[in-house]
Amino acid sequence: MSFSLDDVVRLARLARIELDEAAARDVAAKLGAIFGLIDALQAIDTAGVAPMAHAQDVGLPFREDVVTARDCRDLYQTQAPAVADGFYLVPKVLE
Amino acid sequence: MRTIAELSAALRSREVSSVELAQDALSRAHASQSALNAFVTLDDEGALAQAHGADARLARGDATPLTGIPIAHKDVLMTQGLRTTCASRMLEHFVAPYDARVVARLREMSTVLIGKTNMDEFAMGSSSETSYFGPVRNPWSTQCVPGGSSGGSAVAVAASVVPATTGTDTGGSIRQPAALSGVCGIKPTYGVCSRYGLVAFASSLDTPGAFARSAHDCALMLTAMAGHDARDSTSLDRPIEDYSRILTTQADAKPLAGLRIGLPREYFAEGVEREVVGAVETAIDAMRALGATTIDVSLPMVRHAVPAYYVIAPAEASSNLSRFDGVRYGHRAEHYRDLIDMYCRTRAEGFGAEVKRRILVGTYVLSHGYYDAYYLQAQKVRRLIAQDFVRAFETCDVIAGPTAPTCAFEIGAKTDDPVQMYLNDIFTIAANLTGMPAMSIPCGFTKKGLPIGLHLQGNYLDEARVLNVAHRYQQVTDWHLRAPSPQPSPGMRGEEAERKRGG
């Protein structure tokens, strides 16, 4: 499989990663090689096989609906790039 | 370097104190750092405070087998109050607000944490070269990689800085560096050790585990780290197990009598270095001499493990790493036009090339129109691979083979060819896809003096047996006790240090 520059630019946009043209060209070549490896999967007959999502086929565990976490907002916000009055600051999204 | 078992005895008899052990470990860590780059962060002050606490516990007489033992954690495990970077610019200044469960368990034992080990960025790699903080070097030859992604943890044990470290294994990230660096490394059954506080790469595969000099020390570490944790929904709720229990029983001349070792013909095929095959076959002969029998097994689907992994792991990574957006923690770009531009620039600056590639692969295989063909198909192949192993374990107790197809390769040799790099994990990935326990132990050296690893895989929850096979082998061999020459002191710089390293 080969990836065009446009394919890579679209993919990078979806993944929210900025790529300049030189980086996009390098990524296109390397993704081509990686999908050369991955595409071998297409030839395998998997009719009737259930997908295996996890190593242990166990159900979701349940617990009592009680408060278990303490309020860590102030602690967690010490790691944030920009906060004010207990809120995380982001660029304006609504006019 | 003495083993945990020996150091623990010395601590109890007051031959040494925990403070002395911590000081020694820190001085070796600092001295080797310029040559090996095994650490991202060293915490002298914190380590000495913990060591004083451990000495007090020893004096009180309520010590555990790990009390006072200096260790280091892979920098993907959260350590409260201590920088946790995942070897990424994205988290260069991130201080973890809480401990990972396995970190907390080892703290409860009063181990002494000296620092955080270097690794491939976000655990994505097989050589520990993709770290934002520079590559880790192999102490057996500093021209070579130590394997990855937990390269710093393997090297910290190999270079005798500490007797044990933690690691994480998503496709071989404990076992492959253990093999290439000449130490023991165990990845337990998925669900045995909690993933709480392990910065997620591929959640259905990520498994915490340990490095140490001997199988016995691995058992001590795993016993401390394992256990149910309600905060990890995939954590197995089962009784606590003492993994060292059968290692200490008296052995006769044939301690492996009755053990059936499965030898998959696929693991001794073309593409595996001759010296690696030779060392592994010699190790299996030694196990036969201890009473084991061998049986050929076939794992026809295992050749699809690498492609299946490189769909599933990047898919999960692209989802997990979407949390790094420059809003709540980590790096944020300085200049941007709007919110979307802030995300794009933050992630462009914060992630290295391999991490970006895997996010893009994952984004593609999960995207509309490709999900069924790639992601779902890979999950079906994953089940076929698991069925191969379940069938094989009907006729054998452990499966043995090489851990990696080659010994350590030179730094830079594979950095421009991701597919060649991915094929390093050809023998280790299946244990992650199936979730079965596996370990790598040293079993010889190449003519150039580079270590070779033997891979032992067990059935689900059979890590005690895997450890016992490794331990009995180590009772009659000494590969695991070999150590590389000490690295040049930090006083030497540049060319002089290169000459001294034999470069």
Is residue B351 situated within a structural domain? no
Spot the catalytic one: B74, B116, B187, B414: B74
Is residue B249 situated within a structural domain? yes
3-state secondary structure of B428: coil
Instruction: Determine the residue among B380, B416, B417 to mutate to test chain A binding: the one whose Cβ has the most chain A Cβ atoms within 10 Å.
Output: B380
Based on the structure, what is the number of domains in chain B?
1
Q: How confident is the model at residue B494 (pLDDT cuts 50, 70, 90)?
A: very low
pLDDT at B118: 98
The residues, ordered by sequence, that sit 6+ positions from B68 with a Cβ below 8 Å of its Cβ are B7, B8, B11, B17, B18, B21, B51, B54, B55, B57, B58, B110, B111, B112
- Rounded to a whole number, what is the distance in Å from the CA of B84 to chain A's nearest CA? 12
Contact A61 B376 (CB under 8 A): no
Is residue B451 situated within a structural domain? yes
Instruction: Choose between B253 and B119: higher pLDDT.
Output: B119
Is residue B331 situated within a structural domain? no
Query: Which CATH number fits the domain that encloses residue B288?
Result: 3.90.1300.10
Residue B466 CA to residue B238 CA, distance in Å, equals 19
Residue B361 CA to residue B275 CA, distance in Å, equals 35
- Asked if residue B58 has pLDDT above 50, the reply is yes
B414 is annotated as an active-site residue? no
pLDDT at B357: 97
Is residue B359 situated within a structural domain? no
Contact B382 A51 (CB under 8 A): yes
Instruction: Express as a percent the part of chain A with pLDDT over 70.
Output: 100
Q: What's the pTM value of the predicted model, to 2 decimals? A: 0.96
pLDDT at B498: 42
Contact B377 A44 (CB under 8 A): yes
Domain residue limits at B292: 4-303+382-490
* Nearest residue, CB atoms, B379 vs list A30, A35, A51: A51
B380 is annotated as an active-site residue? no
B74 is annotated as an active-site residue? yes
Q: How confident is the model at residue A61 (pLDDT cuts 50, 70, 90)?
A: confident
Q: How confident is the model at residue B502 (pLDDT cuts 50, 70, 90)?
A: very low
Q: For residue B97, which residues of chain A lie inside 8 Å, CB to CB? A: 72, 75-76, 78-79
Is residue B142 situated within a structural domain? yes
This complex has an ipTM of: 0.96
Is residue B94 situated within a structural domain? yes
Per-residue pLDDT reduced to its tens digit, B311-345: 999 999 999 999 999 999 999 999 999 999 999 99
- Asked if residue B499 has pLDDT above 70, the reply is no
Residue B471 CA to residue B464 CA, distance in Å, equals 10
- Rounded to a whole number, what is the distance in Å from the CA of B470 to chain A's nearest CA? 24
Per-residue pLDDT reduced to its tens digit, B175-221: 999 999 999 999 999 999 999 999 999 999 999 999 999 999 999 99
Is residue B457 situated within a structural domain? yes
DSSP string, B49-60: HHHHHHHHHHHH
Contact A52 B374 (CB under 8 A): no
* Nearest residue, CB atoms, A37 vs list B236, B310, B351: B310
Q: For residue B332, which residues of chain A lie inside 8 Å, CB to CB? A: 81-82
Spot the catalytic one: B131, B141, B173, B318: B173
Mean pLDDT of B346-374: 96
Residue A66 CA to residue B422 CA, distance in Å, equals 44
Per-residue pLDDT reduced to its tens digit, B398-440: 999 999 999 999 999 999 999 999 998 999 999 999 999 999 9
- Rounded to a whole number, what is the distance in Å from the CA of A5 to chain B's nearest CA? 13
For residue A40, give the chain B residue with the closest CA.
B307
Q: Using an 8 Å Cβ cutoff, are B31 and B125 in contact?
A: no
